[in-house]
């Protein structure tokens, strides 16, 4: 059976710019990119549309376990997201269950391992019992995953850590140093505060929910705190992590104005954030609200999240020989009212509608 597929007449996102080109796919790989390519067994007319690498969502909870995890199958094709980074649903004690679950998923799932061995079985509290926060168990699980686990997740807020403060983060960093992986740190209700958390992070580590409304200390007198600007400038990656509480226009606009300090657009999509985060294409419209150009939005849902986790294999980029993940979007230049987690609204200048989602050469939509 001929599984070849070609896309014709679109604006293709290549090396940081949009170019007029066709794309040819076969055997799960990108075969060619260029003008006037021959039609494949399945040929799609994508004239006037954006042809992108499959979108990469750096922050989701898509392992079907516990309080947070949702089934990505119901949302994958409509969202345009082909690589879903599960941000710490699984810990060392539950990773094997999630591995079995992901094997049948219609999308690529890349996990970050929760520093707590029990992961997100419950709503919170997972790091209050430090016996579960085992460096040795986490390192063992990561090494046994044979490269599947791409980072360590530590939720650092008063509910999750209780009296232990920054200790779970210290242990997460120790795991990261032993495994040469980044840490993603969730910031929510303080203590610990934003300055305390950011001061510990290393270049290449990821701070998520950077524009959230509950952690203390991101803004001082209406401006981004010096410690936050310094962390960003030394290479800490600032991730939106929208979710139920992770994004406000007030903080997001100031982060962007002062230091363009939102490096990745992500949803934190889970069972309880569908009404607020909605989808990665809607989060992209919120990027436009913050003042991002179209190229700045596109790189924040493709190459930047892929590079943050060193995913390789062409994930996050369209390149000959790379994996045949493609998302085709229509950018509709009509005003769109969007809301943050507090219900504050803004008008985005455009919306992004998903026309096609292609995963490893298979047409999902």
Which residue, among 152, 122, 148, has the nearest Cα to 139 in the 3D structure? 152
H-run or E-run covering 173: helix 167-179
Cα-Cα-Cα-Cα dihedral of 343, 345, 348, 352, to 10°? 20
Which residue, among 245, 246, 164, has the nearest Cα to 206 in the 3D structure? 246
pLDDT number for residue 103 = 87
What value does the mean pLDDT take over residues 254-266?
97
Cα–Cα distance list, 176 to 144, 161, 183, 205, 206 (Å): 15, 19, 6, 9, 12
CA distance 311 to 319: 14
Indicate if the alpha-carbon torsion angle 88, 274, 298, 56 is positive or negative.
positive
Structural domains present in the chain: 5-52+319-363 (2.30.40.10), 54-308 (3.20.20.140)
pLDDT number for residue 54 = 98
CA distance 141 to 259: 37
pLDDT at 21 over 90: yes
Please, which residues have CB within 8 angstroms of residue 19's CB and are 6 or more apart in sequence?
Answer: 11, 12
What value does the mean pLDDT take over residues 5-23?
97
- For 263, the token pair is 């490096």
pLDDT number for residue 205 = 99
Calculate the CA 35 to chain-centre distance: 32
What value does the mean pLDDT take over residues 282-308?
98
């Amino acid at each position: 059976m001929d599984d070849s597929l070609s896309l014709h007449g679109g604006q293709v996102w290549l090396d940081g710019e949009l170019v007029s080109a066709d794309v040819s796919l076969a055997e799960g790989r990108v075969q060619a990119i260029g003008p006037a390519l021959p039609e494949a067994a399945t040929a799609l007319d994508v004239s006037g549309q954006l042809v992108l690498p499959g979108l990469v969502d750096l922050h989701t909870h898509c392992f079907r376990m516990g309080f947070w995890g949702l089934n990505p199958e119901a949302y994958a094709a409509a969202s345009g997201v082909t690589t879903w980074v599960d941000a710490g649903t699984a810990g060392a004690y539950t990773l094997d269950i999630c591995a079995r679950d992901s094997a049948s998923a219609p999308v690529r799932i890349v996990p970050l391992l929760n520093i707590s061995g029990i992961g997100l079985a419950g709503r919170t509290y997972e790091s209050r019992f430090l016996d579960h926060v085992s460096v040795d168990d986490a390192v063992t699980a990561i090494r046994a995953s044979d490269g599947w686990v791409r980072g360590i997740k530590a939720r650092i807020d008063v509910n999750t850590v209780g009296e232990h403060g920054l200790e779970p983060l210290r242990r997460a960093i120790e795991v990261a140093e032993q495994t040469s992986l980044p840490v993603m740190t969730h910031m929510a209700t303080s203590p610990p505060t934003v300055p305390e958390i950011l001061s510990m992070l290393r270049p290449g580590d990821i701070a998520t929910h950077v524009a959230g409304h509950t952690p203390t200390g991101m803004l001082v007198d209406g401006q981004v705190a010096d410690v936050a600007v310094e962390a960003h400038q030394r290479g800490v990656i600032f991730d939106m992590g929208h979710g139920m509480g992770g994004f406000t226009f007030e903080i997001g606009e100031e982060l962007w104005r002062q230091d363009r300090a939102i490096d990745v657009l992500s949803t934190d999509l889970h069972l309880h954030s569908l009404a607020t985060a909605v989808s990665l294409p809607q989060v992209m419209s919120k990027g436009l609200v913050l003042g991002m150009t179209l190229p700045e939005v596109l790189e924040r849902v493709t190459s930047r999240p892929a590079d943050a986790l060193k995913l390789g294999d062409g994930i996050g980029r369209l390149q000959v020989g790379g994996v045949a993940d493609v998302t085709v979007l229509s950018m509709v230049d009509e005003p769109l009212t969007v809301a943050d987690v507090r219900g504050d609204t803004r008008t985005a200048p455009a919306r992004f509608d998903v026309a096609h989602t292609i995963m490893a050469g298979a047409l999902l939509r």
